[in-house]
Amino acid sequence: MSSQTQLNVLHKFKGILFSTLSSKDLLNSLDSFDAREDDIFLVSYPKSGTHWMAEIIENIPNARITLTSPIELGDVSKFEELKGCSKRRVIPTHLSYDMLPVTIKQRQCKIIYIVRNPKDTAVSLFHYYRDNPNLPSVETWAAFLELFLKGEVVYGSWFDHVLTWEEHKNDKNILFIFYEDMKKDFTKSLKKITAFLGISMNETEVNKIAWRTSFNEMKNNAAKENCDPNHTICALTSNRNLVFRKGVVGDWINYFTPKQKRVFDEVFTEKMKHSELGRYLKEHNA
């Protein structure tokens, strides 16, 4: 990947790579964002399940919410646009905890943080880099994996991102959800989410959401709604067809060579050595 290509679609802010779809001015003025106490934030490192979570919340009956585009997408006019939402706002973002606007922390807004096995995340982000015109092109999986492990990808290091959030995992306004747990026992995860948001639902409603937010159903809907700009949930594209690829757990095994797995596991062990989340991911994913 030439640094020239990277320069055209990415820029560095506070040492982290961002898409040029997030203007420097906007990133510089994040702290002027005025959070409301009833705001809900959907947070994750890219390719960890934000779209899925957004669909789930949008399908909760009587939630009376407006799903907005990501807080870091666009220019400074973004905050005026967000101010115009009269309903309860659900705002997606891929920002690390440190970069989150200060009023969100002060007002103790509800935050759902989604974590996914980093090997699957890396594979998914690799495909995103290949298919998304707003990201640099990468020639090979090996070249991309090297960048991923160094944190030289959009939104920086997966390890750093997760660790900034893990420091706040016991904050009562933050709920951690694992992508793999959602896949394994959707109903249990959904009940956790609705309890956290203070919304009650019956079994029929739960089953309806499970069906409507199944991967194939979302993929079909993405094709139909692709031209709806209100459905931009990712700060890296408004093209919903790019977002849903496979949605499976464990696809990484088809990409990593034994040597790549060994190198990745060494980096993981080193970076996550004091992390409870790291231990959990290690136990639940090969």
Q: What DSSP element (H or E) covers 11?
A: strand 10-13
75-79, 185-189, 219-223, 270-274: least confidently modelled range: 219-223
CATH code of the domain covering residue 277:
3.40.50.300
**94 part of the active site:** yes
Whether the Cβ atoms of residue 54 and residue 127 lie closer than 8 Å to each other: no
Average pLDDT over residues 78-106: 95
Whether the Cβ atoms of residue 165 and residue 104 lie closer than 8 Å to each other: no
Whether the Cβ atoms of residue 181 and residue 118 lie closer than 8 Å to each other: no
Is a pLDDT exceeding 90 seen at residue 252?
yes
* pLDDT confidence tier of residue 1, bands split at 50, 70 and 90: very low
> 62 is in which domain, residue-wise?
3-284
Pairing relationship of beta strands 10-13 and 16-19 according to DSSP bridges: antiparallel
* pLDDT confidence tier of residue 126, bands split at 50, 70 and 90: very high
Please state the domain count of the chain.
1
pLDDT given for residue 2 in this prediction? 44
* pTM of structure: 0.90
Residue (of 64, 21, 81, 74) closest to 197 by Cα position: 64
Cα 132 from Cα 107, distance rounded (Å)? 35
pLDDT given for residue 225 in this prediction? 55
pLDDT given for residue 3 in this prediction? 47
Average pLDDT over residues 72-97: 94
Residue 196's CB is within 10 A of a number of other CB atoms, namely 17
Is a pLDDT exceeding 70 seen at residue 96?
yes
How high is the mean pLDDT of the chain?
88
Average pLDDT over residues 184-206: 91
Write out pLDDT tens, residues 205-238.
988 888 887 766 666 665 555 545 556 666 565 5
For 146, phi then psi, to 5°, come to: -60, -45
pLDDT given for residue 132 in this prediction? 85
Write out pLDDT tens, residues 138-186.
989 999 999 999 999 999 999 999 999 999 999 999 999 999 998 889 8
pLDDT given for residue 4 in this prediction? 42
> Which residues have CB under 8 Å from 131's CB, separation 6+?
242
Pairing relationship of beta strands 174-178 and 110-115 according to DSSP bridges: parallel
Whether the Cβ atoms of residue 101 and residue 33 lie closer than 8 Å to each other: yes
| Alpha helical stretches, state H, the chain | 3-9, 24-28, 50-58, 78-83, 102-106, 118-131, 141-150, 158-166, 179-184, 186-197, 203-212, 215-225, 258-271, 276-284
Q: Indicate the length of the chain as a whole number.
A: 286
Residue 244's CB is within 10 A of a number of other CB atoms, namely 17
Q: Which residues on neighbouring strands pair with residue 174, listed in sequence order? A: 111
pLDDT given for residue 8 in this prediction? 85
* Residue found by looking up tokens 């931009």 in the block: 232
Please give the distance of CA 139 from its chain centroid, rounded to a whole number.
24
In the set 11, 51, 94, 284, the catalytic residue is 94
